Structure formats: structure tokens, C-alpha cells
């Protein structure tokens, strides 16, 4: 099964980063109540990856190509 809640999963990380960007009070888009285009792009990328995973692995079994290395 695809675990998209794992902190190592790229989809999780993209969505988490988008959420963090939207909460930074010093960002101009946050101050003006405008959309954050980069955050939107991060979420769009996460959605595309999810769709590709479903198309490539309809049974939901996915093994990462390589583990994410945390700095």
C-alpha cells in the first residue's frame, strides 16, 4: 500500500512544505491574503505524483526508488 503520510514520502514532504509556506506571516502573499504560487505549484506536483503512482501501481504497492536523505 502507498503510505503518503510517511515523513519520507515525497508527496507528504511537498504538501508539508506548501503548508509551511502559507503560514509564514512575513510572506507578502500571506500578508495580502493572496495565493502563494510556489505553494500551489508544490501541491500540484504532489497531485501529479499521486496520479502517476495510481496509474503505474493500481494495486497501491510502491517502493521508493531511493530513500530521502535528511540533512
Set of cell numbers at residue 42: 508544490
d(CA 40, CA 47): 11
Whole-structure pTM value: 0.72
Q: Provide the 8-state DSSP code for 69.
A: P
What 3 state SS string does 2-68 have? CCCCCCCCHHHHHHHHHHHHHHCCCCHHHHHCCCCHHHHHHHHHHHHHHHHHHHHCCCCCCCCCCCC
One pLDDT digit (tens) per residue for the chain, 71 residues: 555 567 889 999 999 999 999 999 999 998 999 999 999 999 999 999 999 998 888 776 666 555 555 44
Amino acid at each position: 500500500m502507498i503510505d503518503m503520510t510517511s515523513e519520507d514520502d515525497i508527496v507528504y514532504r511537498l504538501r508539508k512544505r506548501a503548508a509551511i509556506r502559507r503560514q509564514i506571516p512575513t510572506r507578502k502573499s500571506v500578508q495580502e491574503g493572496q495565493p502563494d504560487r510556489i505553494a500551489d505549484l508544490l501541491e500540484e506536483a504532489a497531485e501529479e505524483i499521486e496520479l502517476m503512482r495510481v496509474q503505474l501501481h493500481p494495486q497501491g504497492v510502491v517502493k521508493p526508488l531511493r530513500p530521502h536523505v535528511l540533512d
